[in-house]
Amino acid sequence: MAPAEGDRDGLAGKVVVVTGASRGIGFEVARRFAELGASVGLVARDHTALEAAAGSLHDATTHIAVADVASASQVRTAFASIDDALGPIEILVNNAGHGHRAAVIDTDIEDFRRTIEVNYLGTVHATAQVLGGMLRRGEGHIVNLASIAGRIGAPFEAAYSASKFAVVGYTEALAVELAGTGVSVSLVHPGPVATDFAGGPSARKRPKPLPPDEVAAAVIAAVRDERDEQYLPRWLRAAHAVRVLVPPWYRRAIRRRFAAERQALHDRFE
Ligand code: NAP
């Protein structure tokens, strides 16, 4: 459908749901969609933070719904309330995420489980609520926030990295299943972003953390321009290509990069 005049992005009046919209990247995504005239459903666990986030979107049409995305039943209830308030959901941004930084030896089984339940199953639960309706209407877009850690195993973040690899595999498979239906699904892979994720930015200086609104701009571009996959910053795509095409070179480089952390870990077991 051609966008109405003055609606260059074709997003005015669309019903969008953003999970993890109370702060960080998700809030910036919600803000951008609201500025473009979309009606926005905001989902997260903390009701007070959601109210504050929606309140700061001023004149926008919004609806907040509390859910832990790890719970299929909470997601079902939250999405039903958004559907009732705003109408059928046309765009879903699976952004809610849980970070975990620790060596494998220091990571509890419960941390592995929780990270998979939030990052991977959270994406599955939310997608399950919108996919049937999108297919029946023959249009819709889902954007999944993965990570460069979903393309390259991130040392000292194995639980997180594995959960994002799961998101990537799920999304790639779904994209093929949906081809030709009018419903599409996109991946966005940020490197470090300046938010409070996982207790604050990593101590590493490079790559420099991006402002969250740059990630939000990529999410908008994914929907508007039907971009299937974006890396932020863009050169991270080359890092992934090196891992695939020249594995020995990649292994040497990543071991060098984590030399200090590896040494500290090995020293503990001497
Ligand atoms: P953030 O600032 O910590 O915000 C996370 C958002 O998700 C909050 O709104 C939080 O609200 C919500 N959330 C967390 N756990 C949830 C759960 N179980 N159920 C529902 N909502 C939940 O994180 P961010 O940096 O914006 O990250 C957003 C996404 O980008 C994540 O998927 C993350 O993996 C990905 N990403 C981040 C970075 C980075 O460096 N920041 C890099 C690559 C990818 P409540 O706590 O109230 O639920």
What is the pTM assigned to this prediction?
0.96
Rounded Cα distance between 44 and 151, Å, is 26
Q: Which residue CA neighbors atom 9 of ligand 1 most closely? A: 20
CA separation for the pair 196, 201 (Å, rounded): 6
- Out of 195, 229, 230, 236, give the residue to mutate to test ligand 1, the one with the largest number of ligand atoms within 8 Å of its CB: 195
213 in contact with ligand 1, CB cutoff 6 A? no
User: 185, 175 in Cβ contact below 8 A?
Assistant: yes
CA 254 from centre of chain: 24
Q: Beta strands of the chain (E only): which ranges? A: 15-19, 39-44, 62-66, 91-94, 140-145, 183-190, 229-232
CA of 252 to the centre of ligand 1 (A): 31
Q: Is 196 in the pocket of ligand 1 (CB under 6 A)?
A: yes
Rounded CA separation 131/9 (Å): 23
Q: What are the phi and psi torsion angles at 43 (to 5°)?
A: -120, 135
Copy the structure tokens of residue 256.
């060098």
* Type of residue found at 117: E
Atom of ligand 1 nearest to the CA of 209: 40
Q: Which long-range contacts (CB under 8 A, 24 or more apart) does 200-206 make?
A: 202/101
Distance CA 263, CA 270 (A): 11
For tokens 């220091």, the residue is: 106
pLDDT in tens, the chain (270 residues): 445 556 768 899 999 999 999 999 999 999 999 999 999 999 999 999 999 999 999 889 999 999 999 999 999 999 999 999 999 999 999 999 999 999 999 999 999 999 999 999 999 999 999 999 999 999 999 999 999 999 999 999 999 999 999 999 999 999 999 999 999 999 999 999 999 887 665 656 677 899 999 999 999 999 999 999 999 999 999 999 999 999 999 999 999 999 999 999 999 998
CB count within 10 Å of CB 86 equals 20
Q: Is 51 in the pocket of ligand 1 (CB under 6 A)?
A: no
CA separation for the pair 49, 164 (Å, rounded): 25
pLDDT in tens, 180-202: 999 999 999 999 999 988 766 56
Instruction: Name the nearest CA neighbour of 222 among 88, 32, 39.
Output: 32
Q: Which residues pair with 39 in a beta bridge?
A: 15
The verdict on whether 170 is a catalytic residue reads no
